[in-house]
Amino acid sequence: MKQLAILLSALSFASPLISNAQEFNQKKIAVTVYNNNLGVVKDVREIKLNSGSTKISITDVAKLIDPTSVHIKLHGEVIEQNYQYDLVNLQKILHKYIDKNIQLVNEKNDFVEGTLLSASGNQIVLQKKDGGLLMIPNLDKYRLSVGSLPEGLITKPTLVWTVNSRKSGKQDVEISYQTRGMNWHAEYVAVLNKDDTKLDLNAWVSVENNSGTTYKNAKLKLVAGDVNRVKENKPLYKGRVAMEDAVYQTAPQFKEKSFFEYHIYNLQRPTTLAQNETKQISLFQAQNVTAKKKYFYASGGSYYNRGNGKVNVIVEFDNKDSQKLGIPMPKGKVRMYKSDGESIEFVGEDLIDHTPRNETIKLKIGDAFDILAEERQVEHKKITDRVYEQVFEVKIKNRKKEDVVVEVEKRLGYNWEILNSSIGYKKKNASTITFQVPVKENDETVLRFKVRYVN
DSSP for 179-198, please give it. ESSEEEEEEEEEEE-TTSSE
Supply the pTM of this predicted model: 0.69
User: How confident is the model at residue 1, as a pLDDT?
Assistant: 38
Q: CA 234 → CA 37, 41, 101, distances in Å? A: 8, 20, 42
Using CA atoms, how far residue 359 sits from 238, 302, 329, 375, in Å, is 33, 21, 10, 32
**Separation CA 306–CA 392 (nearest Å):** 18
Q: Please tell me the predicted confidence (pLDDT) of residue 89.
A: 66
Confidence (pLDDT) at 392: 93
Query: In the chain, what are the domain boundaries?
Result: 16-87+154-179, 89-145
Give me the pLDDT at residue 231, please: 59
Tell me how far the alpha carbon of residue 213 is from its chain's centroid.
Answer: 18
Please give the pLDDT value at position 104. 81
Phi, psi of 92 (to 5 degrees): -65, -40
Task: Report how far residue 455's alpha carbon sits from residue 441's, in angstroms, rounded to the nearest whole number.
Answer: 42
Integer Cα distance of 227 and 206 in angstroms = 19
Specify burial of residue 251 (Cβ count, 10 A radius: 0-12, 13-18, 19+).
Answer: exposed
Angle at 242 between CA 241 and CA 248, to 5 degrees: 120
Residues 6 or more apart whose CB falls under 8 angstroms from that of 3 comprise 140, 141
State how far the Cα of 225 lies from the Cα of 258, in Å rounded to an integer.
11
pLDDT of residue 83: 73
Nearest-angstrom CA–CA distance, 61 and 70: 11
Q: Which residues of 221-236 are buried (b: 16+ CB within 10 A; e: fewer)?
A: bbbbbeeeeeeeeeeb
Report residue 91: phi and psi, to 5°. -65, -40
CATH 2.30.30.520 fits 89-145, yes or no: yes
According to the model, what pLDDT value does residue 152 have? 59
pLDDT in tens, the chain (455 residues): 333 344 433 333 333 333 344 557 888 999 999 988 899 999 999 988 888 888 888 888 888 888 888 888 888 888 887 776 655 667 777 777 788 888 888 777 777 788 888 888 778 888 888 888 888 887 777 777 777 766 656 566 778 888 888 888 888 889 899 999 999 999 999 999 999 999 999 999 999 999 989 999 999 999 987 777 665 554 444 444 444 443 334 456 788 777 776 788 888 899 999 999 999 998 889 999 999 999 999 986 433 444 458 999 999 999 999 988 988 899 899 999 998 888 999 999 999 998 898 999 999 999 999 999 999 999 999 999 999 999 999 999 999 999 999 999 999 988 999 999 999 999 999 999 999 999 999 999 999 999 999 98
Q: Which of 209, 184, 189 is nearest to 200 (CA)?
A: 189
Strands (E), 34-73: 39-49, 52-58, 65-73
Judge if 16-87+154-179 and 89-145 fold alike in CATH terms.
no
The architecture that CATH gives domain 16-87+154-179 is Sandwich (2.60)
